Copies of this chain bind each other. A is one copy, B any other.
Amino acid sequence: MADKRTQIEEVATQAIKREGFRSMSFRTLADEVGVKSSSVHYHFPTKDDLAEAVIRSYTRAFSDALDGIDRRESSLVEKIDAFNELFADVVSHDDICLCGMMAAEVSSLNDSAKAALKGFFSTSEEWLKSVFQSHAEELKSPLSAEELARIFLAGLEGATLIDRVESGSDRLAAYRALTRALVA
């Protein structure tokens, strides 16, 4: 079993993805890992500390998943589909992307957490941009790799937001259709 600090990060991540950062309380986290809230404060003195740690861990895990896609998939459509699938997984568990949630709640974050949050979005857009760049010859689109990266990251974040409310995945599916339209 992971150490307590890691356990707390994990249940916090889960809670934020489903209910949001403001809805998550130290007491609830404590109950779920089997300690008292003061022990959570030992590992993360303030909620701001926890927010930043969780955003950074999530960004690292997401970045690792992107590396995995690079290793497993070769074509443009396969890579973008695999990226789409990361979001589909989240929605299928009735969650949304942790950083999409944090973006909605950005007014509750301090400057350090906000900087970490920006890091998530730029990391993700950079990966997408490099995918579109390295498959430029397959692309039948007047849009730049950077524009496509922005369109897809924003689009999938928004798609999860709405698909979760509608209990479906019609918008993520529409983005898979868009991916195909780019190479057809």
Work out how many copies of this chain go into the complex: 2
Residue A43, interface by CB 8 Å: no
Q: How far is the CA of A73 from the CA of B115 in the complex (A)?
A: 40
Residue A61, interface by CB 8 Å: no
Interface size on A, residues (CB 8 A): 47
Contact: A151 with B164, CB < 8 Å?
Answer: no
Residue A150, interface by CB 8 Å: yes
CB distance from A69 to the nearest CB of B (A): 20
From A5-13, A32-40, A46-54, A167-175, the one touching the partner chain is A167-175
Cross-interface CB contact of A23 among B108, B156, B175, cutoff 8 Å? B108
Interface string of A2-34 (1 = CB under 8 A from B): 000000000000000011101100000000000
Chain A residues within CB distance 8 Å of chain B: 18-20, 22-23, 96, 100-101, 103-108, 114, 117-118, 121, 141-143, 146-148, 150-151, 153-159, 161-166, 170-171, 174-175, 177-178, 181, 184
